[in-house]
Structure 1
Amino acid sequence: MNSQTILVVDDDPQIRDVLGVALERAGFRTVMARDGVEGLEAAKADPPALAVLDIGLPEMDGLELCKAIRRESNLPILFLTARDDEVDRILGLELGGDDYVTKPFSPRELVARVRAILKRAGPVVEATDGEPKTLRIGLLSLVPESHVCKVKETSVTLTSTELSILEKLMSRPTQVFSRPALVDAIWGPGMVVSDRTLDSHLRNLRSKLAEAGCSDAIETLHGVGLRMGPCRDT
């Protein structure tokens, strides 16, 4: 996989041009597609580091395209949407998108979000003995470098954003993270991320871990923040 390749799927040629210029100026290589079918073919032919998908695509809409991509890989996905009320569906269990930008959008903001997602999806530093770092709490284990998460022997598939949230909490299991501190740690300082976006990722992450047998993995201290739970048998 070329770590510098971004797939952009949008039926509006002006948006494709704007994104192409902005991403290439930022040092990325871009591959363009005009509809969902073309986008899926491009993703298979030249697997990108990240895909930017418009929801309202012809032939196969962005939601169906995301589902098709998710059947093949955990490719990070950034959605373009004209409606804020689609956030829960975009980021929730049904699709598992990594982030979204609402139209009309700033190309600079989109590039910043692409970089933030790629940073979360990238490899982490290995432990000093050369073995990948493994985090363990109760029944839960996480190997961030290889994106492997398990509850006992049950594998849990996470998006890059979900993995980053879990890694941050597991790396400091006794620390209580305020919501702003968690947003800064995951998306980067200065990035504007709504409470609804964070809540969608947390709800999705908790649901996946609970389904695997760990319903107490993330604790909420009302008015204070979030921290890791014990992750015991449930």
Structure 2
Amino acid sequence: MAQTKVLVADDDPNVREIISLYFSKQQIDLVVAGDGKQAIELMEKEAPDMVILDVMMPQMDGFEACREIRKKWDTPIIMLTAKDEEFDRVLGLELGADDYVTKPFSPRELVARIRAILRRMQPKAKAVEDVANPLTFDQLTIDLDKREVVAAGEKVSFRPKEFDLLVQMAKSPGSVFSREQLLELVWGFDYFGDVRTIDVHIKKIRQRLDKLPYECIHTVWGIGYKFGVEA
């Protein structure tokens, strides 16, 4: 694997040292920050391939740093939290994080998650070449080559995984997908997160398409979701 640059923001020097020692053996170039504010500054300067944010930090916590990063960058983000609570996990995902790791964590697991996410970033644009392009549904158009969505005559910006998830369902209108199926199809078999990730991304997709006069993503209770433009 080519050298990967990872920005780690954590105010605990012991955590930074443990990560540094392990990353040095894994062909990972480490950039460290002591708080969220410094992490934002280093994003511009270092252009990392991945960002790891501790939730509890001075100056600017991990949640706020995640929110600020998402305003300018689509760089994958993993949240570090000492609280094994659903609220923290879901909040991080809603703010744009791609995964989370609960402290105390194994450095080996952290590296595995980094590599799993990075492996899944590039191939997804090629996974839709066997269908018509663009996908058109009344007032919704999805251009697969340009990775653009136009809803009710307006271009709508999507994050990469949101776009991939929308396309995966739009390729098979009316088909019902379980959360587990969507995780495998969009994130890959080696994704470590939980199925709640799908719910968070579906919520974001619905919000971005709220100008349409109809629902596109429908909940199939007890199973998952399906795509369709019926009212």
What band does the TM-score fall into relative to the shorter chain? 0.7 to 0.9
Structure 1 segments unaligned to the other structure (5+ residues) = none
144 and 63 in structure 1: CA distance in 2 versus 1, 3 angstrom threshold = farther
Structure 1 residue 134: Cα displacement:
4.2
The yes-or-no answer on 1:86 pairing with 2:88 is yes
Instruction: Please say if residues 16 and 32 of structure 1, whose CA atoms lie closer than 8 Å, have aligned partners that are also in contact.
Output: yes
Structure 1 residue 126: Cα displacement:
8.9
Q: Residue 87 of structure 1 aligns to which amino acid in structure 2?
A: R
Instruction: Please say if residues 206 and 215 of structure 1, whose CA atoms lie closer than 8 Å, have aligned partners that are also in contact.
Output: no
Structure 1 residue 4: Cα displacement:
2.9
| Percent of residue pairs identical | 34
Q: Which piece of structure 1 moves more, 17-26 or 72-81?
A: 17-26
Structure 1 residue 163: Cα displacement:
2.4
Q: Which piece of structure 1 moves more, 106-115 or 137-146?
A: 137-146
75 and 214 in structure 1: CA distance in 2 versus 1, 3 angstrom threshold = farther
Structure 1 residue 116: Cα displacement:
3.4
Runs of 4+ in 1 over 6 A off after TM superposition: none
Structure 2 segments unaligned to the other structure (5+ residues) = none
Residue 100 of structure 2 is matched in structure 1 by 100
Superimposed CA distance per residue, residues 72-116 of structure 1 (whole angstroms, 9 cap, x where no aligned partner):
223322211122221232122xx2222222222233332333233
Taking only aligned residues, the RMSD between alpha carbons, in angstroms, comes to 2.9
Instruction: Please say if residues 3 and 48 of structure 1, whose CA atoms lie closer than 8 Å, have aligned partners that are also in contact.
Output: no
Residue 224 of structure 2 is matched in structure 1 by 225
SS where residue 150 of structure 2 aligns? Answer: strand
Instruction: Please say if residues 143 and 149 of structure 2, whose CA atoms lie closer than 8 Å, have aligned partners that are also in contact.
Output: yes
1:1-234 to 2 correspondences below 5 Å: 4-83=4-83, 84=85, 85-92=87-94, 95-122=95-122, 124-125=125-126, 134-143=134-143, 147-210=147-210, 212-213=211-212, 215-230=214-229
Distance (whole Å) between structure 1 residues aligned to residue 11 and residue 93 of structure 2: 22
Q: Residue 218 of structure 1 aligns to which amino acid in structure 2?
A: I
Q: Residue 48 of structure 2 aligns to which amino acid in structure 1?
A: P
Superimposed CA distance per residue, residues 36-80 of structure 1 (whole angstroms, 9 cap, x where no aligned partner):
222111101121222111111122211222222223223322211
Distance (whole Å) between structure 1 residues aligned to residue 54 and residue 164 of structure 2: 24
SS where residue 105 of structure 1 aligns? Answer: coil
Distance (whole Å) between structure 2 residues aligned to residue 138 and residue 98 of structure 1: 31
Length, aligned pairs only: 224
Distance (whole Å) between structure 1 residues aligned to residue 153 and residue 18 of structure 2: 46
TM-score (norm. length: structure 2): 0.80
Q: Residue 196 of structure 1 aligns to which amino acid in structure 2?
A: R
TM-score (norm. length: structure 1): 0.79
Distance (whole Å) between structure 2 residues aligned to residue 181 and residue 98 of structure 1: 18
Structure 1 residue 14: Cα displacement:
2.5
Instruction: Please say if residues 51 and 77 of structure 1, whose CA atoms lie closer than 8 Å, have aligned partners that are also in contact.
Output: yes
Instruction: Please say if residues 177 and 227 of structure 1, whose CA atoms lie closer than 8 Å, have aligned partners that are also in contact.
Output: yes
Distance (whole Å) between structure 1 residues aligned to residue 204 and residue 63 of structure 2: 17
Instruction: Please say if residues 9 and 32 of structure 2, whose CA atoms lie closer than 8 Å, have aligned partners that are also in contact.
Output: yes
Q: Residue 76 of structure 1 aligns to which amino acid in structure 2?
A: P
Instruction: Please say if residues 180 and 195 of structure 2, whose CA atoms lie closer than 8 Å, have aligned partners that are also in contact.
Output: no
Distance (whole Å) between structure 2 residues aligned to residue 19 and residue 199 of structure 1: 31
Instruction: Please say if residues 90 and 97 of structure 1, whose CA atoms lie closer than 8 Å, have aligned partners that are also in contact.
Output: yes
Instruction: Please say if residues 140 and 152 of structure 2, whose CA atoms lie closer than 8 Å, have aligned partners that are also in contact.
Output: yes
